[in-house]
Amino acid sequence: MKAIQLTEPKHFELIDIPEPASPGPDEVLVRVDCVGICGTDLGGYLGKMPFFSYPRVPGHELGVEIIAVGKNVRHVGPGDRCAVEPYLNCQECYSCRRGFTNCCEHHKTLGVMSDGGLTDRILLPARKVHPAQGLSPEQCALVETLAIGCHAVDRGNPTAQETVLVIGAGPIGLSAIEFARLSGAKTIAMDRVQSRLDFCTESMGVDHTILVGSGNEVEELEALTDGNRADVVIDATGHNGSMAQALNYCAFKGRLVYVGITQAPLELPHAPALHRREIDILASRNALSSDFTRIIKLIEDGDINTDPWITHRTTFDRLIEDFETFTKPESGVIKAVVEMN
Q: Are 313 and 336 in contact (CB under 8 A)?
A: yes
Average pLDDT for the chain:
95
pLDDT at 271 over 80: no
The whole-number average pLDDT for the span 11-26 is 97
pLDDT of residue 330: 82
pLDDT at 200 over 90: yes
pTM above 0.75, yes or no: yes
Burial grade of 232 (CB within 10 A; 0-12, 13-18, 19 or more): buried
Q: How confident is the model at residue 268 (pLDDT cuts 50, 70, 90)?
A: confident
Question: Nearest Cα to 30, choosing from 72, 71, 75, 80?
Answer: 80
Q: Would you kindly state where each structural domain of the chain is located, as residue ranges?
A: 2-133+309-339, 149-283
Two domains, one topology: 2-133+309-339 and 149-283:
no
Please state the CATH superfamily assignment of the domain spanning residues 149-283 in this structure.
NAD(P)-binding Rossmann-like Domain (3.40.50.720)
pLDDT of residue 116: 97
The whole-number average pLDDT for the span 258-268 is 89
First to last CA, the chain: 13
pLDDT at 270 over 90: no
**Ranges of H-type helices in the chain:** 39-46, 94-97, 137-156, 171-183, 194-204, 217-224, 240-245, 289-300, 319-326
pLDDT of residue 283: 97
pLDDT of residue 189: 98
CATH of the structural domain 2-133+309-339, one choice from 3.30.565.10, 3.10.620.30, 3.50.50.60, 3.90.180.10: 3.90.180.10
The whole-number average pLDDT for the span 318-323 is 96
The SS3 call for residue 6 is strand
Tens-digit pLDDT profile for residues 30-86: 999 999 999 889 989 999 888 888 999 999 999 999 999 999 999 999 999 999 999
Q: How confident is the model at residue 280 (pLDDT cuts 50, 70, 90)?
A: very high
The whole-number average pLDDT for the span 165-177 is 95
